[in-house]
Amino acid sequence: MGIKIHGHLFKPIESGRPCHMLWRVYGSRQAFGRENGRLAPMPATWEFVTEFNLKQSRGKYGFPDFELEPTIATNTDGWKFYNLVPVDGEGKEIWHKDNELTLPADLPEEFEGELDVGSWLLWNMEDKGLIAPGQLHD
């Protein structure tokens, strides 16, 4: 059973700068342990999962609702990581290093059942130590 991730509206940081309208989601079923003990996706194992277009209205952009299977942090079969990849106007995918995302099955409960794209991205930043613990719920 998949986890519904609710859409999220945002205003571009730089006014007048084009926003990537097409986004692809890739997943990796293979992982290895890093020196710091964290799992990481095995290089060159990304598989296409889905894609979607952002919605645009009144100067704001929005991710649509979409559904993904939860990630699994064990050696069992299943998705281990996801990666949201924007596609530029020429059709080129823009991959960012260390941009992998996890989606634990119990994550929606942390957000009272309503997980949106922004909260999912911020939760992953907190999980990786990129933002201080507790900032997410302030």
pLDDT value of position 138: 52
**Count of domains forming the chain:** 1
129: helix, strand or coil: coil
Residue ranges of E strands in 29-113: 31-33, 39-41, 46-53, 55-57, 60-63, 66-68, 81-87
In a domain, 62, yes or no: yes
The answer to the question of residue 115 being in a domain is no
- Domain assignment present for 124: no
Within a domain: 114: no
Successive 10-residue mean pLDDT values, the chain, 138 residues:
88 73 95 86 94 90 94 82 94 90 92 90 89 71
* Residue 51 belongs to some domain of the structure: yes
User: Which residues on adjacent β-strands are paired with residue 61?
Assistant: 10, 56
Per-residue model confidence (pLDDT) at position 50: 96
Could you tell me if residue 91 is inside a domain?
A: yes
User: Residue 136's pLDDT is what?
Assistant: 64
Assess if residue 40 is contained within a domain.
yes
Residue numbers of the domain that contains 16? 3-105
Q: What does the pLDDT read at residue 132?
A: 84
**Is there a domain that residue 81 lies in?**
yes
Determine if the pTM surpasses 0.85: yes
- Catalogue the E-assigned strands of 1-138: 3-5, 8-10, 22-28, 31-33, 39-41, 46-53, 55-57, 60-63, 66-68, 81-87
